[in-house]
Amino acid sequence: MLFSELGLSPEILRAIEEQGYSEPTPIQAKAIPLVLSGRDLLAAAQTGTGKTAAFMLPILERLKKFANTSVSPAMHPVRALVLSPTRELADQIGVNVKTYTKYLPLRATTVFGGMNMDPQTAELRRGMEVVIATPGRLLDHIQQKSIQLNKVEVLVLDEADRMLDMGFIQDIRKIMSMLPKERQTLLFSATFAPEIKRLAADFMKDPQTVEVARQNATNEQVEQLVYSVDAGRKRYLLSHLIKSRDMSQVIVFCKTKLSADQLARDLKRDGLVAEAIHGDKAQASRLEILSAFKEGSLRVLVATDVAARGLDISELPFVVNYELPNSPEDYVHRIGRTGRAGASGVAISLMSPAETRQHEAIEKLTRQTLTPQVMAGFEPGSTAPREESSHRRERDRDRDAGREQSRSGTRTPARESQRDPMSVPASALMAGKSGEGLKTIKPAGSSRRSRKAQREVPALLLPPRYKVEVSR
């Protein structure tokens, strides 16, 4: 089947042909005719199978009759609303929509948090037929009355399962209450979990169901490898794998923001070009890092699960699970960043002895046996090579120095911080300076004078285990 057989207009076909689209993926072949018919749709497919085009191409075909070049905002009301759980996914959808509308006078914009609202407000007030948004930022614009939703004809909930996981259900219900009752609702999800079915029952009218792959199935084009390694040696095994496999580009997933930042710093010490991306990064910084990674100037992208969905890197060859996720569904989405659109890829997981339970949960969900293997020189329980130990000591020393600096606001000179107090004799510390009235220095206990006649020197000036008294 070809895209030309799906009932799309010449303007849309021309735009997608320039992007190399020729034959639709299974989800696109099944979903596009149903969306064109105006029916509500509940669709599930593996990540990386072209879900964005599956709903956006038929939506643009339906909105083509409203396309116009008028400068009046009243001629460009919001007619299609796409809700996304993450900023990265919203931005990716926005990029695709601008590509698809290259030869159509339809306006589209993307709004999400972490950015100044003023430029977004200016865009919305110009009039936009298509708006892609994260729920929280959309509610901010609704509160400021910079957007009206009374003309929306099509609503899309993309990655609906992720939105539920992130606690957006109340925001979604608020937004739903502001939309016209007569509308088309499209819900795309990686799974048909019970919560998704309840959401569909609440907001959809007799939806058609499309499922092109078994739920939580992984892409057959992705080779999955698991290496057993001690947690403290994961960072060295990762560097070894990146260099030995000549990974030109790789996304490395961590569970926490702190571990992502630390790993990025460690990889930089190993001479690798690496940056971390997570929720605490400013949105401008996140977009800059993603742009560098997509352009190829950044070799290693260390990310939390904020980037597991929404990243569309063409022909990304490698993905690494530096830490196994607590939710096995996140494993499916992580490795879905590679092997997209029919390409092949490799997904590597580093498993410490403490992550056995997460490994078993992944095998159970995906119905696969992922046998752990051992890399020579990185066997669990083996002694770390001398260079690893020195690197670890250097890292710990830098970390401790950073903590001390954060407490005092100044950095302690390395020589002073490493000086052994025992190497400085007490006589040198309290050597008689004229005018100080110090006559003799004796160890505590050597004098029979009463305690009232003794004066102790401040402890900071003394070697350990000694007190100094000064005879008056």
pLDDT digits (tens, 9 = 90+) for 407-449: 555 444 443 334 444 444 444 444 444 444 444 444 444 444 4
Q: How far is it, in rounded angstroms, from Cα 308 to Cα 285? A: 18
- Lowest mean pLDDT: which of 269-273, 292-296, 465-469? 465-469
- 158 contact partners, CB below 8 Å, separation of at least 6: 51, 52, 55, 82, 83, 84, 85, 89, 93, 188
Domain with CATH 3.40.50.300 in the chain: 3-211, 222-384
* DSSP-derived secondary structure for 318-348: EEEESS--SSHHHHHHHHTTSSGGG--EEEE
Q: Of all helices (H) and strands (E), which one includes residue 94?
A: helix 87-100
- Higher-pLDDT residue of 398 and 356 is 356
- Lowest mean pLDDT: which of 141-155, 218-232, 307-321, 418-432? 418-432
Residue 335 banded pLDDT, cuts 50, 70, 90: confident
**Which of 91, 116, 90 shows the shortest CA–CA distance to 168?**
90
Q: What is the pLDDT of residue 398?
A: 57
- 305 contact partners, CB below 8 Å, separation of at least 6: 253, 255, 325, 330, 333, 334
**Which of 169, 178, 180 shows the shortest CA–CA distance to 202?**
169
Question: Options 1.25.40.10, 3.40.190.10, 3.40.50.300, 3.20.20.70; which CATH number does 222-384 get?
Answer: 3.40.50.300
pLDDT digits (tens, 9 = 90+) for 33-74: 999 999 999 998 766 678 899 999 999 999 999 999 999 999
Q: What is the pLDDT of residue 55?
A: 95
Burial 40-50 (b: 16+ CB within 10 A, else e): bbbbbbbbbbb
Q: How far is it, in rounded angstroms, from Cα 70 to Cα 307? A: 38
Residue 202 banded pLDDT, cuts 50, 70, 90: confident
pLDDT greater than 60 at residue 470? no
Fold entry, domain 3-211: Rossmann fold (3.40.50)
- 225 contact partners, CB below 8 Å, separation of at least 6: 346, 347, 348, 349, 373
Strands 80-83 and 154-158: parallel
Average pLDDT over residues 193-199: 80
**Which of 65, 122, 128, 125 shows the shortest CA–CA distance to 94?**
128
Q: What count of other Cβ atoms lies within 10 Å of the Cβ of residue 122?
A: 11
3-state helix vs strand vs coil in the chain, percent to 5: 45, 15, 40
Q: What is the pLDDT of residue 383?
A: 67
Q: What is the pLDDT of residue 163?
A: 85
Q: What count of other Cβ atoms lies within 10 Å of the Cβ of residue 190?
A: 24
Q: Of all helices (H) and strands (E), which one includes residue 403?
A: helix 386-408
Q: What is the pLDDT of residue 62?
A: 95
β-sheet bridge partners, residue 158: 188
Mean pLDDT, rounded, of the chain: 81
Q: What is the pLDDT of residue 428?
A: 43
Q: How far is it, in rounded angstroms, from Cα 289 to Cα 291? A: 5
pLDDT digits (tens, 9 = 90+) for 128-185: 999 999 999 999 999 999 999 999 999 999 988 888 877 888 999 999 999 999 999 9
Average pLDDT over residues 331-339: 82
Is the pTM higher than 0.75?
no
